[in-house]
């Protein structure tokens, strides 16, 4: 079953003009607080005419970022592609940006906050979001931003992301589909496969989905680990993804990671997300083990250097 959400006023209308006047991201705070960490929710924004978000501004960023922060591949991908898509394109990243309307490509710029002006924009937007969920789930942390550019009719295969994400449409129109598996066991299977070393692309598409038709100025909040996929319409698309984690979502990630290690030992741990206290305890174990590993690595490096 698919439900469509294509109404600017539904759930995203500002509560008062004065409360939203200076914001880059406008959210119905009451509705968002209720949806947070549970289900998708529509939002609006004022970024369409921002000077950084022109093709020239994005092209300049693309060439300035490290190679590892640029991903490019063909736009005509299947909806289900559990192994992920190979990076098949070469040439200057800026050329891919400027030719996005005709080059049949899909492109993402990861961690745009590496550039100071983009970091400032990311924080300004997420400060607006934080105002509606102050302190929720342990507070906002690990802010990251991504830019997605896609050719007309491009498809982003079904996948999930560990972050809380607000996808903000800048140019073109796309259908953002956010689904759920009716059987929690199917969701757990996908999460286990990912933390056991698989790709975050899904092996199947959930049958129950809500579709958000995003035009410039519109956006949608997607809760962490919610399955989603994208169909671009018949013009090139630019979307800005502003993301963050919370203390609670980070603890769940670390619990998933520890569970994967326990499965490799032949054990059957309780899935993450069912017991917050247990997740926090597992998170402490993972954090401690990672810290010890880093300290050992530094000690080994100093020893090799004769220090």
- So what's the pLDDT on residue 14? 42
Instruction: Please state, in angstroms and rounded to a whole number, the distance separating the CA atoms of residues 78 and 211.
Output: 18
Residue 66 three-state SS: coil
- So what's the pLDDT on residue 295? 46
Q: Which two tokens stand for residue 70?
A: 């640029």
Confidence of residue 242 (pLDDT cuts 50, 70, 90): very high
Q: Which two tokens stand for residue 199?
A: 């790709």
Confidence of residue 127 (pLDDT cuts 50, 70, 90): very high
Confidence of residue 195 (pLDDT cuts 50, 70, 90): very high
- Give CA separation, 28 vs 16, 170, 176, 177, 245, in Å: 10, 20, 20, 21, 21
Q: Which residue has the higher pLDDT, 101 or 288?
A: 101
pLDDT (mean) for 209-236: 97
CA torsion sign for 248, 71, 102, 205 is negative
- So what's the pLDDT on residue 285? 72
pLDDT at 176 over 50: yes
- So what's the pLDDT on residue 30? 93
Phi and psi at residue 109, to the nearest 5° = -110, 115
Q: Which fold has domain 2-246?
A: Jelly Rolls (2.60.120)
Q: Please tell me which of 99-103, 206-210, 269-273, 293-297 the model is most confident about, judged by mean pLDDT.
A: 99-103
Q: What percent of the chain has pLDDT over 90?
A: 66
- So what's the pLDDT on residue 271? 81
Confidence of residue 283 (pLDDT cuts 50, 70, 90): low
Confidence of residue 306 (pLDDT cuts 50, 70, 90): low
pLDDT at 165 over 90: yes
- So what's the pLDDT on residue 289? 60
pLDDT at 270 over 70: yes
- So what's the pLDDT on residue 172? 98
pLDDT at 120 over 80: yes
Least confident of 145-154, 172-181, 203-212: 203-212
CA neighbor of 158 nearest in space, from 257, 226, 239, 240: 226
- Give CA separation, 209 vs 34, 177, 239, in Å: 19, 6, 21
Using the structure block, give the residue that is written with the tokens 């080059």.
103
Provide the Cα torsion 16, 212, 154, 67; round to 10°.
Answer: 50
Using the structure block, give the residue that is written with the tokens 């790709």.
199
Mean residue pLDDT of the chain comes to 87
Q: Which residue has the higher pLDDT, 170 or 9?
A: 170
pLDDT digits (tens, 9 = 90+) for 10-63: 334 444 555 567 899 999 999 999 999 999 999 999 999 999 999 999 999 999
Q: Which residue has the higher pLDDT, 213 or 261?
A: 213
* Domain boundaries along the sequence of the chain: 2-246, 250-304
Q: For the purposes of burial, counting CB atoms within 10 Å of the CB of 22, is it exposed (0-12), middle (13-18) or buried (19 or more)?
A: exposed
- So what's the pLDDT on residue 33? 93
- Do 97 and 63 contact (CB within 8 A), yes or no? no
- So what's the pLDDT on residue 86? 79
């Amino acid at each position: 079953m698919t439900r469509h959400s294509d109404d600017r006023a539904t759930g995203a209308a500002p509560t008062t003009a004065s409360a939203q006047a200076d914001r880059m991201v406008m959210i119905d705070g009451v509705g968002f607080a209720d949806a947070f960490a549970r289900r998708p929710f529509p939002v609006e924004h004022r970024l369409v005419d921002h000077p950084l978000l022109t093709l020239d501004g994005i092209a300049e960023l693309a060439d300035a970022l490290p190679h590892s922060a640029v991903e490019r591949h063909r736009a005509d991908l299947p909806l289900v592609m559990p192994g992920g898509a190979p990076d098949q394109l070469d040439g200057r990243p800026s050329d891919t940006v400027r030719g996005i309307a005709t080059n049949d490509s899909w492109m993402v710029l990861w961690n745009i906050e590496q550039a100071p002006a983009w970091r400032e924009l990311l924080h300004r937007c997420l400060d607006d979001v934080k105002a509606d969920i102050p302190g929720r789930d342990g507070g906002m942390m690990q802010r990251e931003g991504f830019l997605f550019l896609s050719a007309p009719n491009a498809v982003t295969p079904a996948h999930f992301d560990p972050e809380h994400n607000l996808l903000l449409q800048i140019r073109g129109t796309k259908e953002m589909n956010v689904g759920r598996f009716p059987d929690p066991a199917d969701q757990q299977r996908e999460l286990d496969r990912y933390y056991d070393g698989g790709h975050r692309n899904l092996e199947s598409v959930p049958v129950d989905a809500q579709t958000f038709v995003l035009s410039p100025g519109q956006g949608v909040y997607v809760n962490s680990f919610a399955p989603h996929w994208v169909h671009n319409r018949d013009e090139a698309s630019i979307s800005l993804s502003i993301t963050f984690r919370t203390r609670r979502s980070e603890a769940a990630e670390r619990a998933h990671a520890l569970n994967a290690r326990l499965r490799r030992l032949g054990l059957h741990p309780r899935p993450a997300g069912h017991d917050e206290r247990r997740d926090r305890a597992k998170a402490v174990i993972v954090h401690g083990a990672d810290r010890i590993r880093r300290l050992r690595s530094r000690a080994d490096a100093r020893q090799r250097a004769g220090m």
